[in-house]
Amino acid sequence: MTHQIELIINGEHYELMVKANKTLLELLREDLDLTGTKMGCGTGDCGACTVLLDNRPVNACLVLAVEARGKEIVTIEGLAQGETLHPLQQAFIDHGAVQCGFCTPGMILTAKALLDNNPNPTEPMIRRAIAGNICRCTGYTKIVKAIMAVASR
């Protein structure tokens, strides 16, 4: 069964036809070519697919596209303003917090949600907030430093 949905993605209004069994992750990557959001496990176990749904980090692999009807989605593509990177994106580069980059989009969105809620988190708070995003490369230290750098501004 196909449903007509309206939603906002990265500030833009979309009207789409989606199948009931399509996940939000599939909608973003396959239909809209927003491939910044990654597909890792598909089962809620890695956080690579993290997007913001009404400002909260969720696993897009475990959300149906039809559930996003009337909601606001932010993906990594929505962060930069033209050529200017979002402070978190810039800080990740400056601190060497990106290696293979697979976890980065989800990690930055989780960090954004944290800082939007609490501009001055402590290090343990940051570590708790990103606990649902696996990074296989960096060992997390530089990721935490990058987020701290933006937080202390």
Partner 1 sequence: MKGFTFHKPRSLKEALAMLKEADGKAKIMAGGTDLLGAMKDGIMQPERLINLQEIPDLANIRPDNDRLHLGALVSLHEITVHPSIQKRFGILAQAAQEVGSPQLRNMGTLGGNLCQRPRCWYYRGDFVCLKRGGDQCFAVTGQNKYHAVIEGGPCFIVHPSDTAPALLAMDASVRIAGPDGEKIAALEKFFMTPRDNVTRENILEPDQILTEIMVPLPREGSRGIYLKARERRCWDFALASVALLLNIDDGICQEIRLVLGGIAPIPFRASKAEEVLKGKPIEIELIDQACRMALSGARPLASNAYKLELTQALIKQALLTLSNK
Ligand X SMILES: Cc1cc2nc3c(=O)[nH]c(=O)nc-3n(C[C@H](O)[C@H](O)[C@H](O)COP(=O)(O)OP(=O)(O)OC[C@H]3O[C@@H](n4cnc5c(N)ncnc54)[C@H](O)[C@@H]3O)c2cc1C
Q: How far apart are CA 73 and CA 51, in angstroms?
A: 7
Give the separation between CA 101 and CA 91, rounded to whole angstroms.
14
Contact call for residue 56 and ligand X (CB under 6 A): no
Residue closer to partner 1 by CB (options 46, 150) is: 46
Helices (H), 30-140: 87-94, 104-117, 123-129
According to CB under 6 A, which residues from 67 to 126 bind ligand FES? 98-103
Q: Is 131 in the site for partner 1 (CB under 8 A)?
A: yes
CA distance linking residue 112 with residue 14, whole number of Å: 23
- Name the residue nearer to ligand FES (CB basis): 15 or 33: 33
Look at residue 12 and give its three-state secondary structure. Answer: strand
Q: Say if strands 12-19 and 2-9 run parallel, antiparallel, or are unpaired.
A: antiparallel
**Shortest separation between residue 149's beta carbon and ligand FES, angstroms:** 17
Instruction: Tell me which residue has its CB nearest to ligand X.
Output: 44
Site for ligand X, rule CB under 6 A: 43-45
Site for ligand FES, rule CB under 6 A: 39-42, 44-49, 59, 61, 98-103, 135-138
